[in-house]
Structure 1
Amino acid sequence: MPLFATPVLSLKASLLDEAKTGIIAEYKRKSPSKGVINDKATVTDVTTAYTQYGASGISVLTDTDFFGGHLNDLLAATVNHIPLLRKDFMIDEYQVIQAKAYGAAVILLIAACLTPPEVKQLAGIAKSIGLEVLLEIHNEEELEHICNDIDMVGVNNRNLKTFEVDISTSLQLIQQIPTNKLAVTESGISNIDTIVTLRKAGFKGFLIGEEFHETARPCDCFCRFCSTT
């Protein structure tokens, strides 16, 4: 476990830092909805540029089957002094321990894949070893998965059944997220006007992935995006 004893950075604190963009920039090769997005750009080059241009955090897909990722991608991204989110389908304690060992500061728990007791158990394990927890929800029913050990609640604007994206999902659910849980919005953020709207609604974090990777050089796209924020 190469990095288990390494001090963990706080994504929550980074998102609240007004000197940064609030963007959690994602590294991904493909997705279930679009197939291969970009399998040329290297994780080191992309995540280093994200860091240099003001990202508040970096999300790294480690799922192989659906996203073409690997734990070694997470490890490669640790060259940057920035909080890393392991984005995967987390279902057991081993994955939580593994995330910290490979340099993650935050784990993602997806409410659609877990019961409320399972979320509570995995979040408790994460907190016990110094990791932060981002809970992803998609609808009002999944709000019941929020528990004390959740640090951030992410609203995914993508419908898991149709893959359609609608930011009104975030605008509707933000009113019901506890005020002591930092709110993050995910998917469908393609321009600065959308960020402005979501920030005014109360969101502090903005997870963006495909928007950057649909170009040959994701780092350049991220730079242009940030220059307008």
Structure 2
Amino acid sequence: MDILKKITYYKRKEVSAKKEAFPISLLEQSKWFQQETKSLATALKKASTGIIAEHKRKSPSKPIINNKVQIQDVARGYESAAVSGMSVLTDTNFFGGSLDDLVVARQATSIPLLRKEFIIDPYQIYEAKAYGADAILLIAACLSAKELKEFSTLAKSLHLDVLLEIHNEEELQKSLCETVDMLGVNNRNLKTFKTSIEISKALASKIPQDFVKVSESGISNIEAISELKNYGYQGFLIGEHFMKTENPGETAKQFIKNLSNE
């Protein structure tokens, strides 16, 4: 079983249990549910650097990246670094995150927050809104074209931006919904976990101009971003490069400063 199938298998069990214990009617009572959201897509369009900085404690390929820093410190550090948005991993089993991380980040910062999760059920979209997210991630490899349309439509009705992640041209073709704001090309092969920005370059010309182009994973230097900007990318999701340091916020600040001086 490849890692994506393994994660979604456990995710279906997890979501099924949560739906019984905490129905949508309760999620809708959250104070965050009625709060106005901030558009990540708009922030990327306006930004000069377009960095989406991630909080990630571990991953299937790296058992521990950083489990010492407090998420509120990371969030404040990223905001101080002038990132365009922050990605918060909420999967527990494989990435060491939680929905509590999203709430803490929301309380600590006013920048747009992306809930980074393996969404396989509409329930998780209501959850994202109830816990303070401004945007959600949908992964084309996990969902049918019908689900992508249904899930992105629901997200837009809740005033959440949608970042739709693809890995190849086949996934791109089923992802071209008007209810999608950003198309993210994941440079990581989810079967081998190896990364290469060549994936983003190869798909760039095939993504219509209506979408904000985002390159995800495997970006660790300003040269890669400068190169990808030439291919029309406006957003760059970076996690491990910042998180593997003692002070992710300070690392992000220096990275963005260097990028701005390019």
The CA distance in 1 between the partners of 2:160 and 2:221, in whole Å, is 31
Aligned counterpart in structure 2 of residue 210 of structure 1, from 235, 240, 244: 240
Q: Secondary structure at the match of 1:35?
A: coil
Q: Secondary structure at the match of 1:158?
A: coil
Q: Which residue of 2 aligns with 1:77?
A: 105
Q: Secondary structure at the match of 2:69?
A: coil
Aligned counterpart in structure 1 of residue 220 of structure 2, from 183, 187, 190: 190
Unaligned runs of 5+ in 2: 1-29
Q: Which residue of 2 aligns with 1:33?
A: 61
Q: Percent identity?
A: 53
The 10-residue stretch of structure 1 (212-221 or 85-94) with the greater mean CA deviation from structure 2: 212-221
Offset at residue 84 of structure 1 (A)? 0.3
Kindly indicate whether the alpha-carbon contact (under 8 Å) linking 2:80 and 2:253 is maintained by their aligned counterparts in 1: no
TM-score normalised according to structure 2 size: 0.85
Q: Which residue of 2 aligns with 1:5?
A: 34
Q: Which residue of 2 aligns with 1:107?
A: 136
Would you say 1:62 and 2:95 are equivalent positions? no
Kindly tell me the number of residue pairs found equivalent between the two proteins: 228
The 10-residue stretch of structure 1 (200-209 or 141-150) with the greater mean CA deviation from structure 2: 141-150
Q: Which residue of 1 aligns with 2:157?
A: 128
Kindly indicate whether the alpha-carbon contact (under 8 Å) linking 2:57 and 2:95 is maintained by their aligned counterparts in 1: yes
The CA distance in 1 between the partners of 2:59 and 2:65, in whole Å, is 7
Kindly indicate whether the alpha-carbon contact (under 8 Å) linking 1:21 and 1:54 is maintained by their aligned counterparts in 2: no
Look up the equivalent residue of 1:44 and give its one-letter code: Q
Kindly indicate whether the alpha-carbon contact (under 8 Å) linking 1:157 and 1:166 is maintained by their aligned counterparts in 2: yes
Look up the equivalent residue of 1:165 and give its one-letter code: T
The 10-residue stretch of structure 1 (213-222 or 126-135) with the greater mean CA deviation from structure 2: 213-222
Aligned counterpart in structure 1 of residue 204 of structure 2, from 174, 178, 188: 174
Q: Which residue of 1 aligns with 2:183?
A: 153
Look up the equivalent residue of 2:195 and give its one-letter code: V
Q: Secondary structure at the match of 1:16?
A: helix
Return the index of the structure with the highest Cα Rg: 2
Kindly indicate whether the alpha-carbon contact (under 8 Å) linking 1:116 and 1:144 is maintained by their aligned counterparts in 2: no
Look up the equivalent residue of 2:240 and give its one-letter code: E
The CA distance in 1 between the partners of 2:254 and 2:114, in whole Å, is 23
Would you say 1:222 and 2:252 are equivalent positions? yes
Offset at residue 28 of structure 1 (A)? 0.6
Look up the equivalent residue of 1:186 and give its one-letter code: E
The CA distance in 2 between the partners of 1:145 and 1:74, in whole Å, is 29
CA RMSD of aligned residues (A): 0.9
Q: Which residue of 1 aligns with 2:145?
A: 116
Unaligned runs of 5+ in 1: none
Offset at residue 178 of structure 1 (A)? 1.1
The CA distance in 1 between the partners of 2:246 and 2:82, in whole Å, is 20
The CA distance in 2 between the partners of 1:5 and 1:215, in whole Å, is 36
Kindly indicate whether the alpha-carbon contact (under 8 Å) linking 1:156 and 1:170 is maintained by their aligned counterparts in 2: yes
TM-score normalised according to structure 1 size: 0.97
The CA distance in 1 between the partners of 2:95 and 2:61, in whole Å, is 10
Q: Which residue of 2 aligns with 1:14?
A: 43
Q: Which runs of 4+ in 1 moved over 6 A?
A: none
Q: Which residue of 1 aligns with 2:14?
A: none
Kindly indicate whether the alpha-carbon contact (under 8 Å) linking 2:32 and 2:131 is maintained by their aligned counterparts in 1: yes
Offset at residue 142 of structure 1 (A)? 0.3
Look up the equivalent residue of 1:88 and give its one-letter code: E
Kindly indicate whether the alpha-carbon contact (under 8 Å) linking 1:16 and 1:204 is maintained by their aligned counterparts in 2: yes
The CA distance in 2 between the partners of 1:41 and 1:133, in whole Å, is 28
More helix by share: 2
Kindly indicate whether the alpha-carbon contact (under 8 Å) linking 1:15 and 1:204 is maintained by their aligned counterparts in 2: yes
Offset at residue 92 of structure 1 (A)? 1.0
Kindly indicate whether the alpha-carbon contact (under 8 Å) linking 2:80 and 2:249 is maintained by their aligned counterparts in 1: no
Look up the equivalent residue of 2:158 and give its one-letter code: I
Q: Secondary structure at the match of 2:79?
A: helix
